[in-house]
Amino acid sequence: MTDVFRLLTRSTTLKKRPLESVISAPVLPSTTKQANPAPNKKRKKSTTENAATSTAALPREIDFFGMSAHAGTAIAATNKSAHEEPALDDSDAESQSSDEEDGEAQGGAVLPPTPEEIKSTLRQHKLKFTFLNGLETPAVAEPPKKKKKKSSKIAEAEKAKKKKEKRPELLVPPLTDFADLRTKYKLSKRVYANILAQGYLTPTEVQMGALPVFMNRELELEGVEKDSPIDLITCAPTGSGKTLAYIVPVLNQLLAQKTTDKTKGVRAVILAPTKELVGQIVYETKKLAKGTGLKVSQMKKGSQPMSATAAAAGASSDSTSTEPVIKSDILVSTPLVLLHALESAPTLMTGIQHLVLDEADVLLDELFRTQTLGVWRQLRSTSPSLRASLWSATISSSTEQLAITELSLTAPPPSILRLIVGIKDTSLPTIKQTLTYTATEPGKLLALRQLFTSSLRPPILIFLQNIQRAQALYNEILYDLPTPGRIAVLHAELTDAQREDTMRRFRLGEIWVLITTDLLARGIDFHGVQMVVNYDIPTSVAAYIHRVGRTGRAGRQGGEAMTYYTKEDIGYVKGIATVIEKGTGGVQKWLLDVLPKTGKREKQRLKKRGVEARKVVKKEEDEKMDKKNRISTKSGWQRKVEERKRAAVEASKRRKKGEEEGDESGGEGGEE
Can residue 175 be called a binding residue for ligand ATP (CB under 6 A)? Answer: no
Q: Which residues pair with 391 in a beta bridge?
A: 234, 358
In order of 6, 499, 555, the CA distances from 504 in angstroms are 12, 9, 23
Residues in 506-535 that interact with ligand ATP by CB under 6 A: 523, 525, 527
Q: Minimum distance between the CB of residue 202 and ligand ATP, rounded to whole angstroms?
A: 6
Stretch that binds ligand ATP, among 92-100, 236-244, 565-573, 642-650 (CB under 6 A): 236-244
Compare residues 219 and 554 and give the one whose CB is closer to ligand ATP.
Answer: 554
Applying CB under 6 A, which of residues 135, 244, 349, 363 lies at the interface with ligand ATP?
Answer: 244
Q: Is 242 in the site for ligand ATP (CB under 6 A)?
A: yes
Cα dihedral sign, 162-222-425-377: negative
Burial 276-287 (b: 16+ CB within 10 A, else e): bbbbbbbbbbbb
Residue 407 DSSP class: H
CA pair distance 375, 381, nearest whole angstrom: 10
The stretch among 34-42, 349-357, 549-557, 563-571 that binds ligand ATP (CB under 6 A) is: 549-557
CB of 579 to ligand ATP, least distance (A): 15
Interacting positions 23-52 with ligand ATP (CB under 6 A): 26
Work out whether the CA dihedral 651, 654, 660, 663 comes out positive or negative. Answer: negative
Q: Report, in Å, the least distance between residue 28 CB and ligand ATP.
A: 9
Nearer to ligand ATP, 527 or 614 (CB): 527
Q: Judged by CB under 6 A, does residue 368 bind ligand ATP?
A: no
* Residues 48-87, interacting with ligand ATP (CB under 6 A): 75
583 near ligand ATP, rule: CB under 6 A: no
Residue whose CB is less far from ligand ATP, 458 or 549: 549
Which of 576, 578, 557, 554 has its CA nearest to residue 565?
576
Q: How far apart are CA 400 and CA 406, in angstroms?
A: 10
CB 215 within 8 A of CB 187: yes
Which is it for strands 432-439 and 415-421: parallel, antiparallel or unpaired? unpaired
* Terminal-residue alpha carbon distance, the chain: 71
* Closer residue to ligand ATP, CB minimum distance, 285 or 304: 285
**Helix, strand or coil, per DSSP, at residue 321:** coil
Cα distance between residue 548 and residue 582, in whole Å? 14
Which of 103, 174, 239, 422 touches ligand ATP (CB under 6 A)?
Answer: 239
Alpha carbon distance 257, 201 (integer Å): 28
Query: How many positions of this chain bind ligand ATP (CB under 6 A)?
Result: 21
Collapsed DSSP state (helix, strand, coil) of residue 3: helix
Q: Which residue in 289, 531, 554, 576 binds ligand ATP (CB under 6 A)? A: 554
Segment contacting ligand ATP by CB under 6 A, of 218-226, 239-247, 430-438, 558-566: 239-247
Indicate left, alpha or beta for 610 from its phi (over 0: left) and psi (-120 to 50: alpha).
left
* Residue 138: φ, ψ to 5°: -60, 145
Nearer to ligand ATP, 244 or 296 (CB): 244
Mark 387-426 with x for binding to ligand ATP (rule: CB under 6 A) and - for no binding. Answer: ------x---------------------------------
Per the CB < 8 A criterion, the answer to whether 414 and 602 are in contact is no
Closest approach, Cβ 499 to ligand ATP, in A, equals 18
Binding site for ligand ATP (CB under 6 A): 26, 75, 200, 203-204, 207, 236, 238-244, 393, 523, 525, 527, 549, 553-554
